[in-house]
Structures are given as C-alpha cells and as structure tokens.
Structure 1
Amino acid sequence: MQEYFIRQALLDAGWDKDEIDNALGSEEAWPQGARRDIKSEITLKPKRVSLSKKHFISSLPKSLLLTLVVAAIGVATMFFYQNKKYEIVLSDGNGELASFNYGSWPALEDTAFFEKVKQEFIDEKISFVETDLSAMLLRVYKDGKVIKEVPIVSKGNEGSWWETPAGLYKIEGKEADHFSSFGQVHMPWSMPFQGNFFIHGWPYYNNGEPVAPGYSGGCIRLSTEDAKSVFDLVEVDTPVLVYEKDFIKDSFEYKLLENKISASNYLTADLGNNFVFAQRESDKQVPIASLTKLMTAIVASEYINIEKEITITGDMLVQTSIPRLYAGQRISVFNLLYPLLMESSNEAGTAIAAILGTNRFVGLMNEKAKAIGMNDTNFVDPNGSGAENVSTASDLFQLAKYIYNNRSFILDMSRGEATQSVYGQPILYGLQNFNVFVNDQDFVGGKVGITNAAGETILSVFEIERAGETRPVVVIALGSDNRTKDATTLIDYVRSSY
C-alpha cells in the first residue's frame, strides 16, 4: 500500500515508470543527501508562488520530491500503524470499554484478566510480546500471530525483592548495549519494560566475561542471539504481557456449596444491606409450597382485625399435616396464626381467607406482593397447595425484608413465642414447630414447606453478630431434597466465611 501511493504521486509529478522502478528498487538509486535537502528546504521562507497543485509538484526537483513523498507517506503510515497496534481498547472487569493504560489499572487485579487481555490482543491482531515466566518462553506476536518464540534463560527469584513483575507493560526504549551502573555489567540488546526491569541478552562484565548462570535482578534474560532477534522485531511502545502461573486462573474450583446443596434455587443475603453471600438461580420462578403462608399472615394482619373470632365450618377442614380445628369452633385470627406459621396448618389458612372471601383474599396477597417488589410472584391460594403458587428466591428476599422490618411479630409467632400484646396467650396448646432452627439461638423466625411440585422449601431469618453489630441474614432454599441440610450448610457458610 505504501509503495502504491509513492508510485501514484511520482507518476502525477511526471516521472516515467523506469525512473520510478529504479528509484524504488535500489538503495543506490535514492538521491544522496536527500534528508539534508529536506531539512534545508524547510528552513527557507516560502515564496508566494501561484501554481496549481500539479504544476507545483512537477516543478520540484525529482530527488527532493521523492524524499518528500516517502517522508510524508512514512509519517502517515507510522501514525496509521501506531494507532492500529497501540491504541488499545479493552473491556474492563465490569464489561465496560476502557482505553488501555499501562501500569496501575484496577482491572489488572483480576487474575483472569491476563488471559482475557492476551486473547483480545490476538483477536484484535495486536503486535505484542508475551513472556511466560512459568514455561520460561518469550513470544513475539505480529498482528496477533506468533512470529518468534525463544526460551527465557533467567528471571528474578520468586519471593525476593527482585522477582520479575507480572503485569502489562510496554517496551519503553531500545539500546544495543546498555550498561547497568547497579550491576556493573553490559546488557546487550536491552529493552526496558518497567523501571529497572529489562528484556536483554546475556550480560557480561567490562572485560568481556559473561555473568555466571543464576537468577537475574528481575530482568528477563535471553541468549544474546535470541535477544538480538527480538530486538530487531519489536518497536518502542510495543505492549508486553508478563505473567506467571500464579497470575493465571487454575482449574481448581471450590465445591463447598455446589456439591453440598441439593436445592435448585437458593439465596443467602443480609436483609440490612442486601449483600448476597451465596445464590443459585435466585431469579428463576418456581413453586414455593407453604412459604406462601407468610404472605397469608401479612394480609391477615393488615386487612383483618386479628381479634376477630370466626366460626369454623366443615369446608374449612381441609387436608393438613396436623388437624386441630373442628366444625363449630370459635377462634380468633390471632390464635389461627400460630398453627398457620408453626405447623403450616392448611385449615388455619383456609379459615383466615374465608373471612374476606378466598378470591378477594388471594387478590390482596398478589397486590401486596407487587407493592413490596415481588414482581415474579403469583399466588392462587392461601396455603401454597397449588403448583401455581410461584415465586423466586429474590422475591422471597423482599418478602423476608418486609416482614423483618414491618411485621416482625410474624417471625416471633413462627418461632412459637407469644407476643407481648393485649391479645394474650395463644389458646392452642401442644403445637409442634416445623421450623428446623427453632433451637438455634440466632434464629429469628421463618417458614418451611413441601409439595410434590415444589419439593422442600425453607425461608429462615437469623441475627448474627459481626464486627460488633447484629446483622439480619436470610436463608432461602427452593426445590430442595433436604431443606434442613441445605439451610444448615448455607448459614454455616456465612458464619465461617464472613
């Protein structure tokens, strides 16, 4: 391309083809002193001459014209290729595009970023130098392809002050024979890339004696022959990728949670600052079984006077785990909330919803869900019996947050504690508590559930002491084979890791 433009310019100036071929095909054909001619010509004051562009070009001496054309195109080409090679734009650790800066860059703290940069250099056809300090190999890439690979003979000692620094740098200069005042040695074919660190050939003393084998002072030492070949191939400002095994993600994976948790969806998070400790598919909508009853308790407390007594009818005596109600019984909503939350009583849920009418009550449950940000939640009954009672772990986090901050007595009741209120003590005795953490001193409250569609489910809130503060942490597991084991693993993970 460069030669094409030179030929076109010279043809426009009136040169014939043979003159152009001779000039471009032979070093001897280039006019002597051309560079001096350019320099002296530039210092002259320009004359005011009215000439057409073509006339002006053709009036120049051919030797000067050729030199000017070559120089101009060379400068343009230099900028073109420099931009192509070294104006690098990469995605940072957050997926945003950012101009590449050498030296300190927060994204470089991500160990996988080194691998990513190398691949992007290759994909973008960047010319760069890769130094693999683990394999002890240096590779020169041109337009994204390896054109030279040489062994690294020596590097800085790991763990010492002189350990060769891994990172992303650039060739800062080139010197055929650099004398190190620190080591009092000559370093042939030197290419500094970071402060006092160089890529260079084997060093030698003033008397010509080579330095003994061993670790370097942090420089990357090549054989002198290989250093010369690399020196000839790279340019100043060429990016240099220096890495070692420690900086590359290995294949080891922590299986603490993945192997031990059977739940298809889970979320463990701080209800105060929303920090997520662990999660799996927390935004996937799935059946939630009797976790539905937490919303039933909210609507009951917000839309019904819980002192209100109702008469139990036969159609309220639906299938439930522990039947406790009987037809004709008079009982308050307050007292129904205990079996609802402790024993997951379907009888209690059905009776409470009947006060407003089941359809209206379920409608209020869905309205409340939307009001507190549960946008992927839908209820079809007050008990969670139907497979269409669905939500996500993320939505249930919003539910737990709302209850903890606004209806904490629901958590107290689920734990089996009588609230200090004018409603007095519950009248139902001998209630069992299905909540698996009821004996855990950190347990605040929650709910469990199980259906064929949902599997085992659990939502449990804990208060954990951390850094002198009491932190509210919720554990949510859906689609579990063993909710007790899963929830225990999750809360133990938080306790031991944070």
Structure 2
Amino acid sequence: MSLLSRLFYRRHASVQRGLLIPYSPPSTTSSQSRALMVRPSMALVAVSAVCFLVYTQATSLVENRLSQPASPVLVASDTWPYQQRTMAFGPQTALSDATYFETLRDELVHTQPQLLTVDVGASKAELYQSGQLVWAAPVTELASTESWRHVPAGYYAVSAVRSERYSSLAQAYYTDVVEFNERLALHGPAQKNDGTPAMAASLGLALGASDAAALAALVASGTPVLVHTPENTVTAGALTPRGPQLAVRSYLVKDLSSDETLAAYNADLVAPIASLTKLMTALVVAEEFDLEGEVPVIAEQHATTLVPRLSGIHRTTVFDLLQLLLLESSNEAAEVLATQMGREQFIAAMNDRATALGLSATTFTDPSGLDDGNQSSARDIYTLTQYLERNYPFLLHVSAREQAVEATREHDFSDLDNFNGIAGLETFVGGKIGETEAAKQTSLTVHEIDFGGGARPVAIVVLGSDSRSADVTALHNYALERYRN
C-alpha cells in the first residue's frame, strides 16, 4: 500500500453515483482493517505533495484557457428593421452576407485599436490600425471546404503569433503563424520534415512569405478578426412535400443543396433526440479545440457506453476522441471532451451555438445525449446538418468512415466500428444515430441520391422510431421514386 493510501485509508470503499452522468461505478474490494498511526509532519508533507500536483495540473489547464482572449461583446445590426444584438467570438452565419461584413468592418475599424479582416470570397486579408489600413495582402491558398481547417464566416480574435508552428497531422513546420482560434490561422510557407513543401493552406489561410512575415510583425494578440465566407446560394424549389405513413414521432427529408422539402411529418415536434446530441458536441469541439492536441483522460470521466475504449488510456488526441464520438457514439469520448472546457461551460456553449444557428426548438443538457432533456425537432436537426455540410463537412465524412484514421503517430484506436450506416443503402455519406428509452430510435443520415442529372445531398431525419433502418430506407426509396426525373 502506498504512502498516500496508508495516510487516507478507509475501512470500507464507498459507492457513489458518477460525477459526470448518472451511473454507479462498481464497488471496489474492501481492504483489511487495521489501525493507523501517522505523525502530523508526515501527513502534512503528503498533503502538500498532493496539493502541489493538483495545483500544477489545474494551473496548466487554466493557463491554456486564459491564453485565449476573453470573448468580448459588441453591438451590431444585421437585418432590417435594424435591431441591436450581442456578438461574441466564434462563427457567425450573418457574416456570410457581404453587406453586413462591410458594415461591421467599417464600424470596428473606428472602435478597435486594430482589426484584421479576411474576405474569403475576394481572397484578401487586411489589417487596420487606429482607423487606417496598414497592411494588405492576397490570400494565396484556402483550406478546402472538405478540410477541418475550413474557415467559416465569423468574428474571432488573434490568440497567438508564432514564428513557427509544427502540425503533427501534416507533419510540417509553418512559418509566421497568426492563430485566431484553436485550429485556424493565417500563415506563411510550410515544409515537411524531409524538407519538401507542405500543403499550402493546411492551417486555414496561406499567405506569401513576405506578407506573412509583415503581418506577424504588426498584429497584436487579442486583435479582432472578421471573416467573410460567402454562403452557397439556395434556390427555391417547387417540389411538393409528401411522404409515406410511418410509425414515428416525426421525419423530414430535404435536399441540402436546394433546401427543397421532399417529405415531412411533424417536422416541428419537439422530442428527445438521444445521441443526435453528439452532432452539436462535435461542432463545438471542431470550433473550439485543436484537433491535433492531446488531452488527459481520467477515470472519473469514464461513462456508461456501448463499447468502452478508454480504460487504461491516460492521454489521447482530440481527433481520436472525435472519431470515437462519431463512429461508435462513445459517451466516454463526449464526457472527456466536454471536461476539457469544463462540463457546464461546454453544455452552455452547445446551447449558445444552437441559439446562434436559430435552433429555437433545441435544448442540450449533457454532451452525450443520455439525458432525456436533450431535445430538438426534425427541422432543427436538419438545419444543424446543413450548417455542418456547408462549414464542417469533415465531421460528416468522419461519421461515414469504415474505420478510424490515424491523427498522430501514436494512434490509440484503429479498430473502431461504424454504427451509423443503413444496411442496403450505398448512398450513405454521413450521419448519426441514437437510442434511449425516452427518445426511442433516432437518426440523421445524409445520402448522395441521383434523381437524374447527377447526385444530390439529401438529409433524412427520423425521430421516435421503433425500426430506424426500415423507416430511413422507406423514406430514401420514396424520395428516389417520387422525384426521379
């Protein structure tokens, strides 16, 4: 028995409910009873050692969070009639509108000491200081919309300026890096370990060597960053929403490209969604975390889940946990990820993003979907899916993989199963399933369906089903037969 175990030995192990989700850990084996005499000086030394270890770990986590500038609030107007609203740092769909981007830029230029703007549509970046343009350069390369480095429209802040940054995923060194959240950056040229050039925009937005160096010398940490990324135009369709009668609470089938409704039933009904919750968990992780970064895993974060994977693992990457989350619907992965931000803060971020996306029927109460308080509607799930498809398609791609992809040289999970597919539907390209007693079976699947003239992305949302696969298949086949040219 270790010194600390002897100092704080208890006659019987206590059994208490889990700290993160309702579950009861197994009782530990009782140790033999014996008296314990400890000198106060020994106890003091041991307690001091424990406190020091806890302090250093906590300090490291807090410093990481505090190294990011606090999210300020500004007052802005974006629609007529103009109304004031708060805007915090993060993706903002309103900034997809060019007029709003320009109006907000002109306002901030005169109210902020510095302002960095990126117009993705025009492929240019500009830095303003004291109301004057002091630097401008073309953006030479953009991360693909398929990449997890894709830059969505939003209001960010410069979190760090580095002369060099190493990416373990690309295994390359990037020069003159201006980071504006955990995963996005403007940067100069990059080289792989063997000296060959790396993918130009692996961190988000690439600049020429001299332009990147000049920006790194001028911009200050904490400077607001305004990003305009044009949104794909949605055309109105004339398809009539009809659908088969199914024994479900609700369903919705829509074309993600045109926004046309192909079939609907009770699409606005609010109901428990089970693990469809993890779609929002994944979005918050993608927006707030460095996917290449490593995070600690402690026993208290273990949760009831279908396939336990984290026993004996003390550290792993965010990307590996994201694959666990989306492929095997791991409740453990959801809890570990949420704890990195602070569980309550993470859940608040999930609800904040729901509000920002206009998901008025949606509420989140935990990061995994186990709690019955996680509720939404088929229409809100579709809206979230459309946002993912347009801004973070890599999340849908991860959810459709047959096996995990290595994120670092030390890969923890290489034999994952994919629970999301529908047997017999080869059109499946992404999605998420869920099931609890209250929610019954739930499903969001995205399919590439050729109605004639080329494949189109179609989202199928089903809530409250007794036979998810059969219902999704019925809706898929109905849409194909009803709307095929």
Determine which structure has greater relative contact order: mean sequence separation of CA pairs < 8 Å that are 6+ residues apart, divided by chain length. Answer: 2
Scaled by the length of structure 2, what TM-score is found?
0.48
Scaled by the length of structure 1, what TM-score is found?
0.46
Q: Which has the higher helix share?
A: 1
Bigger-Rg structure (1/2): 1
